[in-house]
Amino acid sequence: MSRIGKKPVAVPSGVTATIDGNSFSAKGPMGELSLAFTDNVTVSMSDDGVLVAPVEGAKNARSHWGMVRTMISNLFEGVSKGYVKQLEMKGVGYRAQMKGNDIQLALGLSHDVIYKAPDGIKLAVGKPTEITVSGIDKQRVGQTAADIRKFRPPEPYKGKGIRYVGEFVFRKEGKKK
């Protein structure tokens, strides 16, 4: 039985939530997001916040119950605070710079990589080796950060590459004579 699905999602101040059939939308100071959920769960408003309950007799109701509750919680956090992922670059000559809304990455390849920012995502470069990805949709912010990291993931021998801030990279010992 889902333990997280039983808890109501508190609506933050400054955020309005609306339920229309099988869609849920939240509007706050950062923007507006919506979520379409299945017929396996019912979403309702109460004094405590938003309640999610499984539909009796539905085959996948219990597996969707906690997930829908968490996705609604993520919508509230996104429209009220937003999400931020930070990346750092390690390696000689690895650097990033902004080109309009796009980011240009020098990663030791024969050419510079230009990454175009998706809609709703803001890219920023503080230092030449630090990239900040921000937005209101948790999934899109995480996917954008993963796409940038995929150009040069950290390698285990020297630790060069693009990594999340605070990420641990397991280091290997090199060849022995």
**What confidence tens digit (pLDDT) does each residue in 54-68 have?**
888 777 888 888 888
Q: What local confidence, expressed as pLDDT, does residue 5 receive?
A: 81
CA nearest to 120, candidates 148, 146, 82, 151: 82
Q: Determine the pLDDT at residue 47.
A: 87
pLDDT tens string 131-175: 999 999 999 999 999 999 999 999 999 989 999 999 899 999 988
* CA 91/CA 104 separation, integer angstroms: 16
The pTM of the full predicted model, rounded to 2 decimals, is 0.86
Bigger pLDDT: 56 vs 84: 84
Average pLDDT of the residues in 10-20:
90
What domains appear along the chain, each with residue ranges and CATH number? 16-80 (3.90.930.12), 83-164 (3.90.930.12)
d(CA 149, CA 12): 32
Residue 1 has pLDDT above 60, yes or no: no
Which pLDDT belongs to residue 2? 64
Q: Residue 82, Cα to own-chain centre: how many angstroms?
A: 10
- Contact assessment for residue 60 and residue 40, using Cβ atoms and an 8 Å cutoff: yes
Nearest-angstrom CA–CA distance, 65 and 151: 36
The helix or strand, by DSSP H or E, that contains position 63, with its residue range, turns out to be: helix 61-80
Asked whether the predicted pLDDT for residue 37 surpasses 90, the reply is no
Percent of the chain residues topping a pLDDT of 70: 99
**What local confidence, expressed as pLDDT, does residue 172 receive?**
92
Query: Rounded to 5 degrees, what angle do the CA atoms 36, 41, 44 make?
Result: 80
CA distance linking residue 91 with residue 161, whole number of Å: 6
Predicted confidence at residue 121, as pLDDT, reads: 93
